[in-house]
Amino acid sequence: MRFTEILFPTDFSSASEAAGRIARAMALEAGARLHVLHVVPPVTDPSLGAESLTRAATSLGDGLRVETALLSGWAGRNIVDYAREKHIDLIVLGTHGRTGISHAILGSVAETVVRLAPCLVLTVPAAVLEPASAPAARAPADALRERPCLVCSRQSDELICEGCRAKIRGEALEQKWEAQRPGRRGSPV
């Protein structure tokens, strides 16, 4: 399968950055045209986004065929209509995050696009690092994951392994019971 038209809708937020990098990498690899689209909310001056859009297209478009589009209206619906009109093969879309208040975080735009798009959709969470730097960036996390337990030195996902935590909890509980034993000074009889 060859992608010939890749669409990167952007709101110029940091959440779109990782998606932009991935869209560019995929367009480069496939020799595809990259469409950079910004949708200005209704009742907003469309010229506000023009400069940012040109900047985004310039930074992403080195060595690529780039087409920019500035539309006005509801973002989700406009992105889907644009994809239909331009026969887009893939939409690369940034999403805001990973966990937590999930509905708000996925965003209504991303949700509309994923549901209604006529083509493949790749959603990229804001937290995804640049692919080239990903292995290096992951190394400390891996090292942390495989570190020995601080108590028993066995390999563990956590700083203190589950066995040692249970033991510590048990000992603490025993001490508490001992301290609260009836007849001890200061404790109820």
Partner 1 sequence: MAGRAGFRRVVVGLDGSPHSRRAAAFLARLTPPRGGLVTFVRVVEPVRVPSMPLVPGAMRAQIAAQADTINQGQIALARRHVEAAATKLAGSGWRARGVVRTGQPLAGLLGAVRAARADVLVLGARGAGAVTHFLLGSTAEAALKHAAVPVLIVK
DSSP secondary structure, 174-188, as one string: HHHHHHT-TTSTTS-
Other CB atoms within a 10 A radius of the CB of residue 113 amount to 23
- In the bound state with partner 1, the residue whose beta carbon lies nearer, of 16 and 49, is 16
HSE-CB at 49 with a 13 A cutoff on CA atoms is 23
DSSP 62: T
Assign residue 158 a region: left if phi > 0, alpha if psi is -120 to 50, beta otherwise?
beta
CB nearer to partner 1: pick between 70 and 114: 114
Enumerate binding residues for partner 1 (CB under 8 A): 1, 3, 22, 25-26, 28-30, 95, 98-99, 102-103, 105-106, 110-111, 114-125, 127-128, 131-132, 134, 138
- Rounded to whole angstroms, how far apart are CA atoms 95 and 43? 24
Give least dist CB 120 to partner 1, A: 6
**Smallest distance, Å, CB 133 to partner 1?**
9
Phi, psi of 8 (to 5 degrees): -120, 95
Q: How far is the CB of 52 from partner 1 (least distance, A)?
A: 24
> CA separation (Å) from 175 to 36, 151, 161, 169, 189?
64, 19, 21, 10, 18
Minimum CB distance to partner 1, residue 125 (Å): 6
Of 47 and 102, the one with the shorter C-beta distance to partner 1 is 102
Place of tokens 């009742």: 43
Nearest approach, Cβ of residue 48 and partner 1 (Å): 29
**Residues 66-84: b if buried by 16+ CB within 10 A, e if exposed:** bebbbbeeebbebbbebbe
C-beta of 114 vs 151, nearer to partner 1: 114
The minimum distance between CB 168 and partner 1, in angstroms, equals: 27
CB-nearer residue toward partner 1: 129 or 150: 129
69 or 110: whose CB is closer to partner 1?
110
